[in-house]
Amino acid sequence: MNKQRGIASIIYIIIIIALLAVGGIFAYQYFAIKNKPAVQTQQNQITNQSASSSSSSSSQSQQATAGWKTYTNSQYGFSIKYNLSLDAGTSPSNPGEWTLLIQTPIVGNLPTVPGSWYSITIKDGISSLNALKQAYPGGIEGDNKVTVTPITFAGYQALDMRFIAIPAYDHYVHAVGVVKDNKAYIISYWNDKETSQDEFNQMLFTFKFTK
């Protein structure tokens, strides 16, 4: 009799353990499912905030540049907006290059090159970002005053290049270079010192390929 009771007790204990285990599994699944929507909601909020921030920046740029002039080049297939107070005109370039200068209008005996200006240079025969790094300006590898960051620009892989000074110039330069159709498109901001670049950043937002 005592032996039977002992066996029954063991069976009861096993049943209780099994019930507790099953209950634990159901409890885990319940709380996991209950908390999942909250986690998903938080992730969606972060994604929506990021998209909203990007949309807000784009909207602000569009408002700031709404009344600007638009330069369009059908040969190289691009357009860009620039401030009404500036003039755009082609500039002498090296063989295999084409350069547009966007700067304060030159009047009378003012210097040919003002303290700050923008430029767009097209370089032929550039097929990769690495080739761009070697070609502009005169090879930037090994220059410890240069910061180069890979970015996406106008739908293409590009380089954000910032120079404290470069050979033959004593200027701060911020340039964005993108490679398309075996050509490098380089949009640059030149200044005699590093100052606010709000206008340049707004110009970058307006750059687009037209073909």
How far is the C-alpha of 153 from the C-alpha of 20, rounded, in Å?
58
- Do 1 and 73 sit in the same domain of this protein? no
pTM for this predicted structure: 0.67
Pick from 64, 95, 111: which residue ends a domain? Answer: 64
Whether residues 59 and 76 fall in one domain: no
What is the span of the domain harbouring residue 24? Answer: 1-64
Verify that 77 and 166 share a domain, yes or no: yes
Condensed to tens digits (0 to 9), the pLDDT of residues 92-133 reads 888 889 999 998 887 665 555 556 889 999 999 999 999 988
User: Which residue, of 16, 49, 64, is where some domain finishes?
Assistant: 64
Count the alpha carbons within 13 Å of 1 in the hemisphere toward its beta carbon.
0
Does 152 lie in the same domain as 53?
Answer: no
d(CA 67, CA 81): 9
pLDDT digits (tens, 9 = 90+) for 59-101: 666 788 889 999 999 999 999 999 999 999 998 888 889 999 9
In the chain, how many domains are there? 2
Token code pair at residue 82: 């620039």
CA distance 35 to 33: 6
CATH of the domain at 203: 3.40.1000.10
Is residue 22 located within the same domain as residue 86?
A: no
Tens digits of per-residue pLDDT, 28-63? 565 555 554 544 554 555 445 544 544 555 566 678
Q: Are residues 114 and 159 in the same domain?
A: yes
The token pair at 205 is 């937002």
pLDDT single digits (tens) 178-203:
999 999 999 999 887 666 688 999 99
Evaluate whether 132 touches 183 at the Cβ level (below 8 Å). no
